[in-house]
Chains A and B, each alone.
Chain A
Amino acid sequence: MLEDFHDSRPLSMGVELELQIVNKRDYDLTPCAADLLRLLEKKDLPGDIKPEITSSMIELSTGICQSHQDVIDQLTPIRDAIVKAARKLDVGICGGGTHPFQHWSQQRIFDTPRFHQISELYGYLSKQFTIFGQHVHIGCPGPDEALVLLHGLSRYIPHFIALTASSPFVQGVDTGFHSARLNSVFAFPLSGRAPFVTTWQDFTHFYEKMTRTGVVKSMKDFYWDIRPKPEFGTIEVRVMDTPLTIERAAMVAAYIQCVARWLMIEKPVRPEEDHYLPYTFNRFQSCRFGLDGTVADPVTGEHRTIREDILALLEKLAPHAAELEAEEACNQVRALAKGQDNDASWLRNLQDHEQLLPEVVRQQCLLWQGTPSPG
């Protein structure tokens, strides 16, 4: 049975970040999640810190946030507590959508029944799933509104991907992608976009048909780019790589919040199934080329770079950004759209200079701590 869609405050936010735990010798992933969680157990922090599928990964989440500043205020103490605990264990913590050189066969599955079950089902995929994403929840006034918002936001997924892309390297090689992480997600059978239904009744119907096939047991089995989360009364945007800093994570959350408010209040377009025609093309472009990718406008058929598309959208978002106190976040988005390096480019430039991926990871750790990286 599909859970009822709970109440949430419209446009409230929650941010989840999956983080890498690395050793400080060769900066490979190290299975210390349980040790870190134990040290953080007694700390009084906003939000939550949880284990993830492999034991060299942890997930942090904020509580319910209203504004950009709110997200920063919650992420900062959590980040600081994790960094402090990590120092005690002599391990490093960093962002980034992939670990640049880890080998999936060496990952260990975190010791819980659910994780072992997933591991058994998906085999090597679940270990290849050692990828690190950011999820943003947006509160919705009701279940039907949530589904309409979901389909509205789908059009802007390339923005969210390009702004946070931070996974150019996989298993020691430069993939040429800005976000190679999403390529791993696509390997899962139930990944991709949600079906085009715009009422909760239709969605429940779809869900029941799916469970009847035995393919799905809970909402957790869908690895969609955006999925409803009835238990929180939110929709969850899941396409982002974990950025290299909490500031960028907060930025993209606030940007999504602005887009959501614009879609909810101005209702600029009515969602249609046909809007998904260029969906995978656009998504590929943003994964592959980042902000320089080209997207096709599903309504007009016009082609633009993601940079141009973002700058055009920012114009429309301005009053909403003011209302949500998200101007600072929008300024950061604008700077990126105008040519500042995204995280993927930063990583690539660093590797060009250092020619040593473990050194790149070391500097990723410094960046995550909030310490400016040397060189």
Chain B
Amino acid sequence: MPNLNISSLLVLQSSLLTDTLMGFAVALILAALCGEYLYRKLGWPRIMGYVLVGLVSSMLGIGYDEASLPAEFRTVIDLALALLLFELGARINLKWLKANPWLIATSLLEAGLSFGVVLLVLHGFGLGWRSASAIAAICIATSPAIVMRVVSESRAEGQVSERLTLLAGLNCIYAVLATKLIMGWVQITTAGALFHTILQPAYMLFGAVLLAAILTWAMLRVVRHFKLSQENSLLLIFGLLLLATTAARVLQVSVILVPLLAGILLRNQTERPLIWPRHFGTAGGILVALLFVFTGLSIKPELFLTGGLAALVLILLRAGAKTLGVLVFARPSGLTWRQGLCLGLALSPLSAVAFSLIAEYQLLLPEFAGRLAPFVLSAVALMELLGPLVVLWALRRCNETHVGDID
């Protein structure tokens, strides 16, 4: 390499950085325009535009993969996800489960069926039981990000929306717990340590509950003494959420479980209604939009191919399993068949949580993760695009979206 000196290297590096930033800036602008276009022309959720632009950018090489993700971006994703999970948790009224136990039955059945179906399908495609069960556990979760975003963007109100958020919150918890157990199981046979199977999941659960309880305690104080409509209180809430997720990362407990549980605890500890603007106002709204752009950027187009047929079959059968799980108890739980069908289909999105769980495997068991990633990531990639549309369609079919629909 002739004539290469340090200064030219520096120039090259900084221009690379500028390129990334430029590319990123262009991606943001296009995301906003594309989201608006889809919304105005087709009445589709704007987030589909964000994901689409992210996807196209990543095809053009502007994307990144999990490993090379800059720390600042990681923070944005964590915070946005924590925000959505906390909001979702705060919608879950545990008393409802007591008043209508058919909901518990529905939740367990849809989660159980989707786990079982995915497990069998993947095994059928030749995956070992351990890999198949790891993927099946991840696939229990309905994307809380997509659900929360579409429900709040379309200002949906009604039984299907309420149950959708409830079931999504619950299956998210199942997915995290199941993943931890399976991780332990994989490790005992690979590393042979008892610690991993029992103590590790127990520690994770205990740690998550403890952190969530602390976060709830702090949030309760904020709710009582601050006006949630003020920007200053939002700063406080963002700070607390970020602190909690960072602590969760450091202590290696689930970053998903902590904000979700904190939301649930907060909601069920106080009778007084918790009133805050959607995603805690405009700042939160931007974070959430960024989350979707980033998820789009991190989808690599080749993913659609690697998972291939298995991913497609997996998605379809998983959606079928969830729908069947909801339909079985739809009538006794107080829904019509149509509402049950729509609710079941609306449970099909997969996204950020699945990403986050696969990332945990990549951290702890990189080799094992290598076998899972293609299936999960291509399934996620597909559902990231289709998920919002499915949810919106289902809510519209049940007349639960606002008349002017999305705002």
Verify if A35 is at the interface (C-beta below 8 Å from B).
Answer: yes
Contacts of A32 in B (CB 8 A): 158-159
Distance of A30 Cα from B403 Cα, bound (Å): 13
Contact with A along B42-72 (1 / 0, CB 8 A): 0000000000000000000000000000000
Known: A30-B157, A88-B100, A90-B100. A106 touches B402 (CB 8 A): yes
- In the complex, are the beta carbons of B272 and A90 less than 8 A apart? no
B400 within 8 A of A: yes
Task: Give Cα A358–Cα B93 distance, bound, in whole angstroms.
Answer: 16
- Partner-contacting stretch, out of A21-29, A145-153, A292-300, A345-353: A21-29
Give the residues in chain A near B96, CB-CB below 8 Å: 24, 90
Chain A residues 212 to 232 lying within 8 A of chain B, measured CB to CB, are none
* Interface of chain A residues 1 through 43 with chain B (CB within 8 A): 23-28, 30-32, 35, 38-39
Report the contact-size class of chain B (Cβ under 8 Å from the partner): 20 to 34
**Bound CA–CA A362/B274 (angstroms):** 12
Find out whether the CB atom of A89 lies under 8 angstroms from the CB atom of B334: yes
Minimal Cβ-Cβ distance residue in A for B97: A90
Q: Once the chains bind, are B273 and A356 in contact (CB under 8 Å)?
A: yes
Chain A residues with CB under 8 Å of B91's CB are 25
Query: Is the C-beta of B162 less than 8 angstroms from some C-beta in chain A?
Result: yes
Question: Is B275 engaged at the interface, CB distance under 8 Å to the other chain?
Answer: yes
Whether B272 lies near A89 (C-beta < 8 A) is no
Q: Are B93 and A31 in contact (CB under 8 A)?
A: no
Q: How far is the CA of A319 from the CA of B353 in the complex (A)?
A: 73
B273 touches A26 (CB 8 A): yes
Instruction: List CB contacts (< 8 Å) of A54-91 with chain B.
Output: 87-90
Q: Which of B93, B273, B399 contacts A27 (CB 8 A)?
A: B273
Residues of A within 8 A of B18 (CB): none
Known contacts A31-B157, A358-B275: A23-B162 contact under CB 8 Å: yes
CB distance from B156 to the nearest CB of A (A): 10
Tell which of A26, A27, A38, A358 touches B334, judged by Cβ atoms closer than 8 Å. A38
Q: Which residues of A contact B271 (CB under 8 A)?
A: 362
Measured in the bound complex, the distance between the Cα atoms of B103 and A88 in whole Å is: 10
Q: Establish whether residues A362 and B272, one from each chain, have CB atoms under 8 Å apart when the complex forms.
A: yes
B255 to chain A, nearest CB (A): 25
Is B230 among interface residues, defined by CB-CB distance under 8 A? Answer: no
The residue on B at minimum CB distance from A84 is B99
Interface residue from B93, B155, B272 paired with A106 (Cβ < 8 Å): B155
Asked if A31 contacts B403 (CB within 8 A), the reply is: no
Residue of B nearest to A374 (CB): B271
User: Chain B's nearest CB lies how many Å from the CB of A364?
Assistant: 12
Q: Are B93 and A24 within 8 A (Cβ)?
A: yes
Contact partners of B399 in chain A: CB under 8 A: 31, 108, 111
Give the distance in Å from the alpha carbon of A32 to the alpha carbon of B162 in the complex: 11
Complexed CA–CA distance, A28 and B99 (Å): 21
Report chain B residues within 8 Å CB of A106: 155, 402-403
B269 in contact (CB, < 8 A): no
B282 within 8 A of A: no
Measured between beta carbons, the chain B residues less than 8 angstroms from A105 are 403-404
Q: Which of chain B's residues has its CB closest to A360's CB?
A: B273
| Chain A residues at the B interface, C-beta cutoff of 8 Å | 23-28, 30-32, 35, 38-39, 87-90, 105-106, 108, 111, 356, 358-359, 362
Other CB < 8 Å A-B pairs besides A356-B273, A356-B275, A358-B275, 5 of them?
A: A26-B273, A27-B273, A87-B100, A106-B402, A362-B273
- Going nearest first, the 5 A-B pairs with the smallest beta carbon separation are A358-B273, A90-B96, A87-B99, A88-B100, A30-B157
Q: List 18 A-B contacts (CB under 8 A).
A: A23-B157, A23-B162, A24-B93, A26-B275, A27-B273, A30-B157, A31-B157, A31-B400, A35-B158, A38-B334, A38-B336, A39-B334, A88-B100, A89-B334, A90-B95, A90-B100, A105-B403, A106-B403
